[in-house]
Structure 1
Amino acid sequence: MASPPVVSNALVQHMARLHKQSPLFVALFDATDTTRYANPAFLSIFGLSTYAGLTWSDLMRHSYMSGVGAAIKTDDFEAWLTSTRSRRGKLPFRAFETDLTDGRWIYITETVDEQGWVLHVAFDISAMRTSERALRQARDGALRAAQTDALTGISNRAHILQQLDQRLEQLRTSGQTCGVVILDLDHFKCVNDTHGHHAGDLVLTHFARLVAGTLRREDGFGRLGGEEFMLLFPNIEAAALTLTVSRVLELVRAAAPLSDVPDFSYTCSAGVAMLKAELDAKANICNADRAAYAAKANGRDRLEWAA
């Protein structure tokens, strides 16, 4: 088998010069979603001269606050960010279209490698016919709706189960580990019975946003139904998974989600497992689900590992 070609410094320099001159919008983000490279065209979208230390979330927040860059149309930025992050970096490749605040319309490609780095390459498609653009925008909106839980904005059941299938395939083909966690809010029926269903919806939304804020971009988070949620943690060891889930339980325990009931608090229970390649998706979920039942049986507001 022939050896792969050696990439010389001269070739790297040529690529760097071409990226700098290119009208394409090019950016590279590492596994923590921190910008590691952005060409001048990409930076110009946001009216910035440097990308040092900026995460993707920082860029989106800058756009929203300054009115420069991505046209983010929402009255609740944090909810928008939670929902958008639930889809970001979850597939090896995806493409979508969006508009900028200056009126341009761009086509974005997102490529993710095995280490969780993301390459963005985008280009201006403003000259394409408005009627065609509207059709594609409607298509993209329908796809987002099909993947998103309407109440919480995170992945819905179908989308998180699709991610589970992908992680299971990665485990089988490349040995990439993945933790799976079932989270169930404790005594949630009492919340609805005591404070009403609107308060219950507020608690669910609060929980989704709180948990989403603790996650890496590559992690999956979805609502299975009711007060039951699933987390997926690729590339993690058991000890780190225990610490991560314990931190989530701690944050939930300390939260006050109902502004008009300041003394209200809530907790959740967690069932934790590592994906097993020899089991199918349903059996892996059952492992974590049984552990969640054990957590509830042993006093709630705790985590239990699958046997």
Structure 2
Amino acid sequence: MYDTFTEIPLSERIQRLHDASPLLIGVFDEHDMLRYANPAFRRALGLRPDAFMTWQDLMRLNHKQKVGTRIDSPDFEAWLASARSRRGKLPYRGFEVDRTDGRWHFMTESLAPDGWMLCVAVDITDVRADERSLRADRDGAWKAARTDALTGVSNRMHILQLLDEQIAQLRSGGQPCGIALIDLDHFKSVNDRYGHYGGDLVLRDFAHVAASTLRRVDGFGRLGGEEFLAVLPGVDRAELAAVVNRLHEAVRRSTPLPDYPGFHYSFSAGAGMLEGGEDALTNIRRVDHALYEAKGSGRDRCVMLT
């Protein structure tokens, strides 16, 4: 398609408009890899013209260089897990972002059915400071209500909400969805031997490993104690098993206790496909039976529902 008056291809015209726009415009693919960023986006986040990376690595780069998003949390990885637990879960969302240079942006995320995401931010620094403060407090309360304070991933309420949403989509003819109920093996003995601080490090490490292994569209949250739930939309049974297997391999390589480099841990899981005719707790009870079987047959494994 061409511009009627100048015969410039419409795609080129749109590209020129994006390049000249003061709006921050970025496009991420289904793996959360940055595929396009206009000059304003790159300047704000300290990216070279030829730099492309995942959103998580972009946040790590920003944190290291102290540019882009302002991150006040003393635990960066927990902040990252918390932010990722909300990213890409809704077709559209808008939120405010405080930058390290004192600027303030309103960011929107528009999610396509195939997982690609359009991110657009506008500078709202000139909005009255007291109004911004009120909205920041509101956004902080909203995040806290959905985030597990220790690990930074979704809390019980939020992950069950995501599960309910997938059940609703399944009932209306949406895509299939897999779920996995996960329990860290012999966690009581970890607390007994290394103290609750050591246990906390293991929980946070597992949340970090899981967040790094799962996709952006996947839901992942802590139900309580050492029990977690993963919600994986758009997978079949074989793909679900492969994801849990990759998570097993990643956890086996992890060394979460700096003072005990030889320490390793494992988890057991029960997994299966979501049933649209059942509610959230009934679906969880089904995979809980598979989890019980995994524990009884030696742990450090996943039992798939047939």
- TM-score strictly above 0.5: yes
Contact 1:38–1:51 (8 Å) recurs in 2 = no
Contact 1:272–1:288 (8 Å) recurs in 2 = yes
**Aligned CA distance change for structure 1 residues 37 and 294 (closer, same or farther; 3 Å):** same
**Aligned CA distance change for structure 1 residues 7 and 299 (closer, same or farther; 3 Å):** farther
**Aligned-pair identity (%):** 53
SS at match of 1:213: helix
Alignment of 1:87-98 (within 5 A): 87-98=86-97
Contact 1:249–1:268 (8 Å) recurs in 2 = yes
Q: Which amino acid aligns with 1:208?
A: A
Aligned counterparts of 1:288 and 1:129: Cα–Cα separation in 2 = 50
Contact 1:268–1:300 (8 Å) recurs in 2 = yes
Where structure 2 has 5 or more consecutive residues not aligned to the other structure, the ranges are none
SS at match of 1:195: helix
Contact 2:46–2:62 (8 Å) recurs in 1 = no
Alignment of 1:155-234 (within 5 A): 155-234=154-233
Q: Which amino acid aligns with 2:284?
A: I
Q: CA deviation at 1:25?
A: 1.2
Q: CA deviation at 1:7?
A: 9.0
Q: Which amino acid aligns with 2:110?
A: T
Whether 1:245 aligns to 2:244 is yes
Q: CA deviation at 1:261?
A: 3.2
Alignment of 1:1-307 (within 5 A): 10-50=9-49, 52-307=51-306
CA RMSD after TM alignment: 1.9
Q: Which amino acid aligns with 2:34?
A: T
Aligned counterparts of 2:227 and 2:173: Cα–Cα separation in 1 = 30
**In terms of mean alpha carbon deviation, does 258-267 or 84-93 score higher?**
258-267
Q: CA deviation at 1:52?
A: 4.5
Q: Which amino acid aligns with 2:301?
A: R
Aligned counterparts of 1:58 and 1:192: Cα–Cα separation in 2 = 32
* Structure 1 residues 83-107: Cα deviation after superposition (integer angstroms, max 9, x where no partner): 2111111111111111112211110
* Structure 1 residues 190-227: Cα deviation after superposition (integer angstroms, max 9, x where no partner): 22233322222121111111221111111111000011
Q: CA deviation at 1:171?
A: 2.2
Q: CA deviation at 1:189?
A: 1.7
Aligned counterparts of 1:251 and 1:43: Cα–Cα separation in 2 = 32
SS at match of 2:213: coil
Q: CA deviation at 1:237?
A: 2.1
**In terms of mean alpha carbon deviation, does 91-100 or 123-132 score higher?**
91-100
**Aligned CA distance change for structure 1 residues 262 and 14 (closer, same or farther; 3 Å):** closer
Aligned counterparts of 2:260 and 2:87: Cα–Cα separation in 1 = 34
Structure 2 equivalent of residue 3 of structure 1: none
Contact 2:44–2:67 (8 Å) recurs in 1 = yes
Contact 1:37–1:51 (8 Å) recurs in 2 = no
Q: CA deviation at 1:247?
A: 2.1
Q: CA deviation at 1:58?
A: 2.5
Aligned counterparts of 1:146 and 1:257: Cα–Cα separation in 2 = 27
Aligned counterparts of 1:188 and 1:49: Cα–Cα separation in 2 = 44
Contact 2:80–2:152 (8 Å) recurs in 1 = no
Aligned counterparts of 1:23 and 1:72: Cα–Cα separation in 2 = 23
* Structure 1 residues 163-204: Cα deviation after superposition (integer angstroms, max 9, x where no partner): 111222222334312110000011212222333222221211
Q: CA deviation at 1:236?
A: 1.6
Aligned counterparts of 1:99 and 1:17: Cα–Cα separation in 2 = 28
Aligned counterparts of 2:49 and 2:161: Cα–Cα separation in 1 = 37
SS at match of 1:196: helix
Q: CA deviation at 1:40?
A: 1.7
SS at match of 1:43: helix
Aligned counterparts of 1:167 and 1:135: Cα–Cα separation in 2 = 32
Q: Which amino acid aligns with 2:258?
A: S
* Structure 1 residues 9-56: Cα deviation after superposition (integer angstroms, max 9, x where no partner): 833333222222222111111101111222222112123342553221
Aligned counterparts of 1:51 and 1:139: Cα–Cα separation in 2 = 37
